[in-house]
Structure formats: C-alpha cells, structure tokens
Structure 1
Amino acid sequence: MINYILNLLTLATIYSIAAASLNVLVGYAGIFSIAHAIFFGLGAYAGAQFALLIVPDVLLASLIGAVVSGALSLLLALPALRVRGEYFVAAGLGLQMVGITIFSEAHSLTGGHGGLVGIPPATLFGFDVSSPGAFLAVCLVALLLSLAVIQILMRSSFGRALMSIRDNESAAESFGKNVPLLKTLAMVVGCAIVGVAGTLFAFNLAFINVESFTLEQSILMLAMVVIGGVGTLSGPLIGAVFLLILPAILTFIPFIPPTEIGTVQQFIYGSLMAVLMIFKPSGIAGKTGGK
C-alpha cells in the first residue's frame, strides 16, 4: 500500500512538471498547444535510449531529454510564428498526429507499438535511486527546480514581454518586442522542461510506448493547467494532483463498480470544467475575474 501511494505521488509530481511546462506556453505566452504530449514523448524516448545504451544516470538522461525536446520544439514554433488562434490549434493537431505516426513506425528508436522495455533502474552519481521513496525525492527536486526556473524567467523582462504578447500581440510588437523570437524561446523553454518530465516518466515505469503520448495525454495536460489556474505557478500543480489522485480515490469507493470508474471520472471532470467556466474561469488557483 505504501509503495502504491509513493508511486501515485511520483506520477503526480511528474505530471506537475509537465503541466507547469505547458503553462509557460498557454498561461504566459498565450500559445495554445495541444501537441505537448509529443514533446513529453520525445523526452521519454531520448532519456530511455540514453539509459539503455550509455548509462542510467537520471540527471544526464534528463538533460538529454530536455535538449532533444527543446531542439525539436522548433517544429511547433514555426507554425506558432505564422498563425494564431484556431489555425495554430489545427497546426498543433497535425503535429500531434505526425508525432504519433513517427513514434509508432520508428521501431529502431521507439520500439514501435511494442515500446521500449527493460529501461534500467535510475541512478544518480552512481547511487541507486530506483526505490519508490528515493525516486519520489528525485522527482520532487526536479519539480522544485523547474518551478524555480519558471518563476525566475517569468519575473524577468523576458517573462513580462511574454505576458504582453499574450495580452495583446499587436501592441507588444508596436512597442518593439521581437514577437517571433520571444515565442520561439517560450516554446524551447516549455518543451525542454516537459522533456525532463518525459525522462522521469520513462524511468518510473521502466517501459514506454506510444499509448502514453497520444492526443488524450495532451488534452489531459491542458486540463490540468485550465482546472488548476492558467498563468499561475501553483495552478498546474493543483490540476495535476486533482486529476491524478481522483481516479485513485474512486477505486476505494465501494458502491462504484470498477468497470464504471472511467465513466464516473469523465462525468466529474466534465462537470468541474463546466462549473469552473461559469463561476471561476481563471481556475482553482487563478485570481477572481481572470488574469
């Protein structure tokens, strides 16, 4: 039971990192991405391959995952620089579909639908950190570092420029802000951080396949940000914990049949989203009245 709780907390921590990284795009830069799971997957595959082929050091593997995801984020940055609103959503959806196809077919890199198996236990500076408690501590440190980086960046001139673009891109451009460059940097930062989350996800499960990086996962991360509070530091954490802990709680309610847990979960999610949009559209941690 203790290991189950520790594993659940570890998963919530990993998704908190992923949601916080998406909030950099959605909440601070106004870039509505629905392809974030692809970069989550890039980090997971890159980190897993590094662990399988070289050394299972979680720090080095996470850095590799961050570099790969951040570098390939330019694939999403290019349409972000050219289109806005619903057109960018369509571009993101196309990238999500292309990414899933590549993950499914690039057998030498991703294992295809069979995935990558036998990812070795995580180490850190030569010490084994694969036990549930130790790995949770590693993930918590990664979460704190990610939040610190995001907070420092968002309080800097870079962050203020991003938020000006979010609020009014044309006005920001008229004041001399380099909108294309700022959007590109925001994309690189957000995707690099989710690459770290992907690597931790791979180590945690010791197995990954394409099913973990589908459109549903992108929507789940977006829901974490929206429910928790867009443009806030704590909001994505609240959303991640809520959306991951809730299914576990439902399994302990005796009068809900196991086969109906998914249905009840979707009903609660949908109802909560509707209530939030009516009474608190800025999310649980958001300020009343919006940003």
Structure 2
Amino acid sequence: MIVQSIGRKLARIIALLAFALAAHTASSFTVNTSPVTPANLSGLWWNTSESGWGINIDHQQTIVFATIFTYDATGYAHWYFASDCRVSGDGCVGDLYRARGGSTMTVPWYGAGLSLEKVGTLTLRFTDNNNGQMTYSINGVPSSKTITRMLLAPPAQPTMSSYDKTALLLGGTWTLRFTIISTFSYNYTFLSMNSTANSNGDYYAYGSDQYGDPVVGGYYSKGDFWTILDTSVIIDRYYVFSFGDKNHISGCYYQIDPPGSTHMSNCYPMAGSRYPEKRLTQAHDPRQLILEVAETAEPHDVDPTVLESYLQFRRLAQ
C-alpha cells in the first residue's frame, strides 16, 4: 500500500512537470480579453524613431478604441479613430474614421455640423504586451508601421502570488519540532516547486521527508496560513504555521488518526527552522505519537478552516 501511494504521488509529480514544460514552450501571443483593469493593450503607443505622431489605445475586453494623431499631406495635424476594433487572436481589425464639423473647446459645444467619414481600415497585431505592428489604409493609400508602448515610468512590481510565496518561502530543508509528552523532530525538504493550482487559487509544492517519502505542502489562502502534510498508513502528521522570518516558522502540529478522517487532535505548539543542509534525526514510532496524543487529549472544537485545509491536502496527497 505504501509503495502504491508513493507511486501515485510520483506519477502526479511527473504529470505536473509535463504540464509545466508544455506551457513553457507555448510562445504565441494572444490578446487578453478578460475584464481586467487596466487591460493589457491600453496605453500610448508610438514608433520610437518617428517622434511627433502616435496612437492611443483603450482596450476593454474584446473591443479596442484607437485614436491616431498624425499629419496630412500639407503638414497639418489630423486625428483618425477606430471605435470598434474587434479583438481576435493577437490583435484587432476595424474601420478607420475621421470626424469633421465639431466646435472648439473654448466655446459652447455645437455638434449639429459634426460628420463622420470612413477613410479606411486599421489592423493591429502584437508580438507581446509592449510591441506590435499597425497596418492601415487612409483614402486608399496603404501603409504599415512598427509600434511600441510608451513607458513613462518603470512597470510596477507584480503582487507576490501564492505560487511565488511557495517557491520562495517553502523551498529548502526544514526541521520541525513539537512536544506532546516527548519532544519530536522531523525533517522535510522541498527542492523542486512542481506546483499546481486548484480552482480556489491555492498552490502546492511536493517534497520528501528525511527518508525520501513524498510529502505535500503549500499556502492555504482561505486561512492565510502554510501547511505541510506528512501522510502514512497509521497516522497523518499535519502542520499549520506562519513565518516569523524567512528561515523560522511557528504554528501547530495536528495528528489525524485514522489517516484521512476528520478526527483531528488538539493543537500542539510547533516551531521550525530552515537549514542549508539536510539534517537527519532518528525515526519516531507513530504508535508513540498515538499513545501520547491519546494521553494528552482534551475536549476541543476543531478549527473548521484547518480541518478543511487538511482534507483538501489529503485528497491531493492520495
């Protein structure tokens, strides 16, 4: 049964690696049409070697509203716009217009004489979020220009995701200690962050105990805590903790007997430290843990969030 459990876990890890490699090899760019703010194409674009003209892009899901400021054949400033450039694949296509007959902004607006004239078409194609090609025709004259997003300030640093937290904080070898009656010590190593997201946005990392048996750990967003689950055929050891600093953690040790059940013990205070090198300790007999937990058990209400997180990690570990 133990061999089968290890085999299932290793098969899951291999599948995750294959998925990650497949995702990494995909290089084609696709415009993001999700309702995010700001959308990934919105901004001021230009040709870096042709100062004086540009294109403003307002991108909202499947529609791009583009305005081009440039000059006519006599050198006078002109504006053109595509108000319905429909997004598909790596860009958008729409009709290009010119507006005439409006009034200046220094007097009350009078729009009775306003007229719209279709002058051609506009096609935008992008190779990434900051570079693309603008192909257009104006009054029957086709042309194409390379465009680049104008960056007026360094891009903001992305918010650290739960995957980043897992990769940065959980990696390495940890020694965890807790006391029931006796003091127990276990080592866990997370070297390869082969993580996969569930539907709630939580992420998991796979590692091993001091004897090479698989364990699973990660960040549980609903409770805003970290966990390590060490499963066995006798009991499950479950750690719930937070970081004091990047190399020290503290929290609770919970014992689940029988494994996979909702029979969760009291919280036993636990502390852990990360070390550069793996440190082996003598194996503890799970039966001793069972006896000591039984002897020290007190009436208690199980934290439903902790129990929910354990059951979720337990399903992943099977």
TM-score by length of 2: 0.18
Whichever of the two has the greater Rg, that structure is 2
Q: Which has the higher helix share?
A: 1
Higher relative contact order structure (alpha carbons within 8 Å, sequence separation ≥ 6): 1
Q: Which has the higher strand share?
A: 2
TM-score by length of 1: 0.19
